[in-house]
Amino acid sequence: MTKRPADSANASAPTRQVPMRDFSRSLPMSLLRAREAVMRQFRPKLREHGLTEQQWRILRALASIEAAEVTELARTAFLLGPSLSRILRDLEARNLIERKTAKADQRRSMVSISKEGVKLMASVAPSSEAIYAEITQRFGARKLAELQEMLGQLELCLAFPDAGDDVTDET
Amino acid sequence: MTKRPADSANASAPTRQVPMRDFSRSLPMSLLRAREAVMRQFRPKLREHGLTEQQWRILRALASIEAAEVTELARTAFLLGPSLSRILRDLEARNLIERKTAKADQRRSMVSISKEGVKLMASVAPSSEAIYAEITQRFGARKLAELQEMLGQLELCLAFPDAGDDVTDET
DNA sequence: CGCATTCACTTAACATGTTAAGTATCTTCG
DNA sequence: CGAAGATACTTAACATGTTAAGTGAATGCG
């Protein structure tokens, strides 16, 4: 047994100059853990169909918009360009999507979901929706809506530093 | 009485068999976007010091617990074993952490932060805390606490499917 | 004691996150 | 027209996420 720091409560380790918040209670960690808890519900089912989370995001995004430019798709699926580029290459090789360069502007390529992609989506969507329904029921629909509202506000107030957000209860 | 939403109102896109929720409003996306919005505040400062988000998590975890086994550290920093293994190798090469195998059990290795690691933390922590304070102020301290509470509940009710959580009124 | 099993990591392999650099196309303006 | 700059991706390089397999050390049990 090596020597322990003065074992008072856990708030005062002598080696630290700057006392930081309890690590596990930081906002990024809370968000990460919550998201992981949610994704853990979906991943096995997606995996059964040979899809990763991101590939599934892309297919879903495409299914709802018919066709889109790569940049637009990146924004919708919340992926960075390079990631999307790789994934589209793979999805195209699997014939789940189709690409054709726009006539008006040769730089842009229009991406759309293929028949096979639609079929795959149809085979996964029911399970996916069932899982989501289960989560909603477990957590509570109202609470879930509340949570999403707060997440949206958080995103907004960080994205636009000048937007005053409707906090009001704090000075 | 959980009745499936009759798909009369929202089955508008001709290519879709199964109407899915609006993509951008799914819980995983909300969590991802919120977390990204938060991390975007921290990343530049960490980068200035040559640290990634995960490396910073590990240093913070180590700073508060003196020494830990790898498995324990993985749990604390919320990293998978393989990721942690790689990162520890790099941090050790940079002399930010130290490792020694436990005497009692040669399989385990005890990881601790080095003097240099402590120094690095001391140089980053103030900025990090300042950023966190800014976020707290912008979003509102009370609201932030509320949000974290909900995130914790979400995590719990998904981790332990039998735990009844205090879910509203559903029977 | 011997050997299968478990345990605590580590490596490997593939996919994505993240930043920087590259390429081809389009636009602007002299 | 034509060179400079902007735009829409794509590649490259490195770090991490994720699953599976490997390695060496304890443990259980006949």
ipTM entry: 0.85
| pLDDT of amino acid A165 | 61
The string of pLDDT tens digits covering residues A88-122 is 999 999 999 999 999 999 999 999 999 999 999 99
DSSP tag of A12: -
The string of pLDDT tens digits covering residues B4-57 is 333 333 333 444 445 566 777 899 999 999 999 999 999 989 999 999 999 999
* Residue B9 within any structural domain of the chain: no
* Residue B145 within any structural domain of the chain: yes
Other CB atoms within 10 Å distance of the CB of residue B152 = 14
Nearest-neighbour CA in chain A from B89: distance (Å): 22
The string of pLDDT tens digits covering residues A120-145 is 999 999 999 999 999 999 999 999 99
* Residue B15 within any structural domain of the chain: no
Nearest-neighbour CA in chain B from A89: distance (Å): 22
Q: Please name the residue whose C-alpha is nearest to the C1' of nucleotide D7.
A: A107
| pLDDT of amino acid B158 | 92
The string of pLDDT tens digits covering residues A9-59 is 333 344 444 556 677 789 999 999 999 999 999 999 999 999 999 999 999
* Residue B72 within any structural domain of the chain: yes
- Tell me if B63 and A32 make a contact (CB, 8 A cut-off): no
Query: For chain A, how many structural domains are there in total?
Result: 1
Structural domain boundaries, residue A106: 28-159
DSSP line for chain B:
------TTSS---TT-SS----GGGSHHHHHHHHHHHHHHHHHHHHHHTT--HHHHHHHHHHHTTSEEEHHHHHHHHT--HHHHHHHHHHHHHTTSEEEEE-SS-TT-EEEEE-HHHHHHHHHHHHHHHHHHHHHHHHH-HHHHHHHHHHHHHHHHHHHSTTS-TT-SS--
CATH of the domain at A140: 1.10.10.10
**Residue A52, nucleotide of least CA–C1' distance:** C15
* Residue A9 within any structural domain of the chain: no
Amino acid symbol at B150: M
* Residue A41 within any structural domain of the chain: yes
Ramachandran area for residue A144 (φ above 0: left; ψ -120 to 50: alpha; else beta): alpha
Contact A16, B23 (CB under 8 A): no
Cβ of residue A163 closer than 8 Å to a chain B Cβ? no
Chain B contact set for A133 (CB, 8 A): 2
- Tell me if A63 and B153 make a contact (CB, 8 A cut-off): no
Q: How far, in Å, CA of A4 to CA of B161, rounded? A: 38
